[in-house]
Structure 1
Amino acid sequence: MQDSTSAELDLTNWRKYRGRMGEDARATPVYKMKLTGPAPTSLSLYPQNLRSGDASIGQEILKGRWRIGRDVLDIQPGTPPWDVPGPSRHFADRLHRFHWLTHLHAVGPEGQRFARTMIADWVEEFGRWNGFVWRFPVVVDRVWNWLGGGPQMLDNLAPDSEVLETLLRQGRHIQHAATDCPDPSIVLRSLFVQLVLAFSADEGERRIAALEGQIQFALDDQILADGGHISRNPLFLLDILLDLQTIDDLYLRTGRPSLPFISKFVPRIAGMLKFLRMGDGGLPIMNGSSEGNRADIKNALFPYAGSRAFAFATKSGIQKIEAGETRLMLDAGYAPSPEYGAAAHAGCLAIELEDHGERIVTNCGSHPDIGPEWQAATRRTDGHSTLILAGEDASQFNLARSLGVEAPSGPSGVTAKRMEEDGTIMIDAQHGGWKASHGLVFRRRVFMEPDGKRFTGEDSLFRPISAGMAENTDAIPFNIRFHLHPGVTMTPEGEHLKIALPSGASWLFKTKHKRKTIERSVYLARGRVEKCWQLVLAGDADPNGDASMDSNVVKWAFVKNE
């Protein structure tokens, strides 16, 4: 429960970081009448739930412990969590989406019975209307999760039950409200939900055909030629793949041929996710993504295990180096357009490094369960393993008026060249994120030895000849940050730093740069705020300098201990 000061701060953060998507839904009496209509006594078809739950989380819920991100609500077992004051608006938002149904389902019959009870209680409490819990993105997720619960959740209801009536009312709300949603990613998800509901509630062939056309149009807009999503968020891409596979399964079970656009996009998206998947089976921590659910990723990609992998994704702006058991990911892309930028990050030229599937260098990351103020903080450039100049972000954050939140743009002049010779791979990348403000371009060159046991980098700042000489010759401070995964430990070893991995393997971080420090960092990508460390190399760049000057270049290396 919050005191008045905490509640006021919570409301301020919610409005600031959620914008239009956080505003209560509004409905006139006439609009509410539009949501009424006939409801079936049962559903004719249920989608297969392709998302896996965690039975241990389900058991905690049965004991009265509801944990979402940093927040924990402990209540009497069997008590609906919305009957008591919650820790935050974000907690309530996640709670009313019903993602936790998968965890209760994984428990078995006891969890499924409790889930049915919670759905029935929710309908009694909120089924007619509530501005906060009937917000468009919340309803979209909730309807999908209810349907995904299957007959164990929605069959054999009491004769006077209003569950199916409420389900259909929410479906009509999704249909009407989609045209006013400013976030195309959420609109796409809503179309998936509407199509599944059209099958389940026997809404007819015309309705199904209309939705098929809308989905194809949206996918053409949002899926890039290399299979990435226009937001550049790997987690969004995984969700789209799982939703499309769910829909394809519905078509198979009803004796229909696969939709042409599913046959077109699913292999392309799967290829991209296969490229993105890290050695531990999770996702890279870039552009708002978390590590993801490894079981879901594995299952989604299983049909494509034999497909050919690729080494770089030009349209998505992501480079990868693999040598031996070492893997590097480098983000070399622009921020998406503002309507897709609500969760986008300013991490251009950030790297992620792993050995045998153990993450070493990463970014602070994000996770849907973590509060919006934390997610906003880690979007900034200093939350990434890259260089930041004068404490300023590499991308500019501006208000996206349609969304009511800040979205990044740029940086300008992003390029990445890849060279391979005798097994050695080099990527030469740069961006001009500070060219307009400070006249300097950031260049990052990284090299991987053929056996993967040595990874070398050179970071430099240079002033283009076309910019002329800077009038202000004051040095410009910079920091190069390497955020380390919470699973590793770090100790000094002579002039170097030893990074020990959970398996017992270790790496040395080497540099001749004198100004190096160890600072605290955080990691959000596993759904909680974890403390970790970061290596920071500090310097002062000459505004008229280049890579030939010691002040403007820093060389470093990660070398595996034998």
Structure 2
Amino acid sequence: MVDSSSAERDLSEWRHFLGRLGEDARATSVYKMKLSGPAPHKLSLYPQSLRYGDPAIGEDILAGVWHIGQSELKLAPDASPWSVPNPSRHFADRLHRFEWMRHLMAVGPKGHRRARELLTDWVAHFGKWNGFVWRLPVTTERVWNWLVAGPILLENHGADSEVMNSLMRQMRHLQHSTGEYPEPIAVLKSLFTQLAMAFAADEGERRIASLEAQLEFTLNDQILADGGHISRNPEMVLNVLLDLQTIDDLYLRTGRPTLSFVAKMMPRIAGMLKFLRLSDGGLPIMNGSSEGNREDIKNALYPYSDTRAFSFATKTGIHKLEAEGTRMTLDAGHAPPGEFGTGAHAGCLALELEDQGERIITNCGSHVDVPPVWSGATRRTSGHSTLAVTGFDASQFVPVRSMGLQAPVGPTGVSAKRMEEKDTIWIDSQHSGWKDTHGLVYRRRLYMDGDGRRLTGEDTLFRPLSAGLTEDTEAIPYDIRFHMHPSVTLRPEEPDGHHIRIILPSGAAWVFKTKHERKSIERTVYLARGKVEKSWQLVLSGDADPNGDASNPANIVQWAFVKVV
């Protein structure tokens, strides 16, 4: 499955970054017997997905070219990707989820024919059992994607076909294993998939009612009062809303009323998605989110064009400053509970800035198609546009034993106050992420002019008066980072080089201003578009006085981004 020359390193990275979630599914001979059973003669109803299929990607697949993240697999047009070693376990993991199926569907009849061929070949290789590809999250997404493409993919396969028998074996596997699975986000997706299958296979009212109760309980556990997801990942908001809309459509098509908890929840989630959506139609980059698929976001929000707008999400902990097409987003929330935090980031008080839909400041981000070694690295505080005490994250990463992974905890003392006066808007925020280790509290104050042409910031490390003085007077090094989006160009301003010009693709220009002496332009990476892209970051470095406060120049840095063109 993986090229033998890199198999050992690949396996080591896989185990480190996937933990128990990367372990092969286990099945005794008795368990495998439980998966056997009759298949329906025909599926009666298929879910209609709102997710976008890109015909250009489908054409690549028809040509035998498979792209996932940075990796590429080239085959003869009629060859199967399961019949050759894959570039990595991560590549194979993504491949076996069948998310690429919608791109083949978008091509038309020739894509449909190829999809059926690939499905039949997959069943011949893996249809009865394979520990790696039958892991619950992979099986869940694969079955969902098969059902969504069902009118083309599954029609004309009788009850005695290998395809229908494999589908039902996988569904029984989900039914038997979901309740014991340790990762709650995968459990939610499994419930969506099982409910869709219950309609497709006419499994009866008792089965549907049981799944409805489980789904209600799980959603109430994961969706916050402001519509955000408990993981604080913006992409999860999009995914849950799309899946809820798909399930609700099944109810409408069978003449059933919308489930009451779904009717209450969908507008709330849509309001959060509308709040999160940036001017370019994508999502902010935080806690494992990518930029998202803009067509998916547009489709998800289409029924909710009149949903009210708001300026901050109280439960999710995200604030916005917005004026005349300039938007600043601030992550002012603490880490989610551990079982939901294995993809969360230590990016408290990180900001993002955009101008008329063009991203300027961002974070390194993440993407499901990027190898986990990269996504793991960008979870650290240094991968975000905020202050980091050198060698220490704002949140402490601790083990989540049920999953064999780490999740951030904290920081404590997170607060953010939004104020408006005349033509100025500002946010005063802070957290105590380094109070226990260094005795210092981090404060970030942000001001936006009413015309949106200037964002001013002040970053401070201070020792609270209640802590008294410390005898350890060794300076505490720190860095303030501003990660730039790969689309922008940086150019130091002459003659003194104190200012740095930021040029956007449209030709608009901003200038970064600061009197702070220790500044540099350094390389960084950006993952949020599904590949590892090189970019630049502005870095302001300093050494804080452990007994200092806002009156000590060593502990305070002032800066501004000013639009000049």
Tell me the TM-score normalised to structure 2 length. Answer: 0.98
Instruction: Output aligned runs, 1:425-440, within 5 Å.
Output: 425-440=425-440
2:363, 2:269 → 1: CA distance?
24
Q: CA deviation at 1:159?
A: 7.6
Determine the structure 1 residue equivalent to 2:74: 74
Q: Quick one: percent identity of the two aligned structures?
A: 67
Q: CA deviation at 1:78?
A: 1.5
Determine the structure 1 residue equivalent to 2:384: 384
Determine the structure 2 residue equivalent to 1:23: 23
Q: For the aligned residues, what is the CA RMSD? A: 1.0
Per-residue deviation, residues 350-393 of structure 1 (Å, max 9, x unmatched): 00000000000000000000001001000000000000002211
Secondary structure (helix, strand or coil) at the match of 2:373 reads helix
Determine the structure 2 residue equivalent to 1:6: 6
Per-residue deviation, residues 16-69 of structure 1 (Å, max 9, x unmatched): 100111000000111011111110122100001211111111111111111101
Q: CA deviation at 1:157?
A: 2.6
Determine the structure 2 residue equivalent to 1:521: 524
1:305 aligns with 2:308: no
Determine the structure 2 residue equivalent to 1:549: 552
Q: CA deviation at 1:2?
A: 6.0
Determine the structure 2 residue equivalent to 1:497: 500
Q: CA deviation at 1:75?
A: 1.0
Equivalent AA in structure 2 for residue 434 of structure 1: W
Determine the structure 1 residue equivalent to 2:316: 316
Secondary structure (helix, strand or coil) at the match of 2:265 reads helix
1:174, 1:435 → 2: CA distance?
45
Q: CA deviation at 1:3?
A: 5.9
The match for 1:532 among 535, 539, 550 is 535
Equivalent AA in structure 1 for residue 309 of structure 2: A
Determine the structure 2 residue equivalent to 1:62: 62
Q: Kindly indicate whether the alpha-carbon contact (under 8 Å) linking 2:2 and 2:89 is maintained by their aligned counterparts in 1.
A: no
Instruction: Output aligned runs, 1:374-453, within 5 Å.
Output: 374-453=374-453
Equivalent AA in structure 2 for residue 270 of structure 1: A
2:133, 2:184 → 1: CA distance?
20
Q: CA deviation at 1:160?
A: 5.4
Q: CA deviation at 1:320?
A: 0.6
Determine the structure 1 residue equivalent to 2:137: 137
Determine the structure 2 residue equivalent to 1:208: 208
Equivalent AA in structure 2 for residue 268 of structure 1: R
2:75, 2:179 → 1: CA distance?
39
Q: Kindly indicate whether the alpha-carbon contact (under 8 Å) linking 2:318 and 2:330 is maintained by their aligned counterparts in 1.
A: yes
Determine the structure 1 residue equivalent to 2:333: 333
Instruction: Output aligned runs, 1:448-527, within 5 Å.
Output: 448-494=448-494, 495-527=498-530
Q: Which runs of 5+ in 2 are unaligned?
A: none
Q: Kindly indicate whether the alpha-carbon contact (under 8 Å) linking 2:349 and 2:444 is maintained by their aligned counterparts in 1.
A: yes
2:389, 2:524 → 1: CA distance?
19
Tell me the TM-score normalised to structure 1 length. Answer: 0.99
1:453, 1:150 → 2: CA distance?
51
1:216, 1:3 → 2: CA distance?
43
Q: CA deviation at 1:6?
A: 2.0
1:557, 1:516 → 2: CA distance?
14
1:260, 1:159 → 2: CA distance?
35
2:103, 2:303 → 1: CA distance?
25
2:557, 2:45 → 1: CA distance?
60
Q: How many residues align?
A: 562
Q: CA deviation at 1:158?
A: 6.4
Equivalent AA in structure 2 for residue 518 of structure 1: I
Determine the structure 1 residue equivalent to 2:175: 175
Determine the structure 2 residue equivalent to 1:231: 231
Determine the structure 1 residue equivalent to 2:245: 245
1:270, 1:110 → 2: CA distance?
36
2:172, 2:315 → 1: CA distance?
36
1:59, 1:493 → 2: CA distance?
45
Secondary structure (helix, strand or coil) at the match of 1:229 reads coil
Secondary structure (helix, strand or coil) at the match of 2:413 reads coil
Residue range with higher mean Cα deviation, 197-206 or 156-165: 156-165
Q: CA deviation at 1:107?
A: 0.8
1:288 aligns with 2:288: yes
Moved over 6 A (4+): none
Instruction: Output aligned runs, 1:353-392, within 5 Å.
Output: 353-392=353-392
Q: Kindly indicate whether the alpha-carbon contact (under 8 Å) linking 2:159 and 2:165 is maintained by their aligned counterparts in 1.
A: no
Residue range with higher mean Cα deviation, 362-371 or 147-156: 147-156
Secondary structure (helix, strand or coil) at the match of 1:480 reads strand
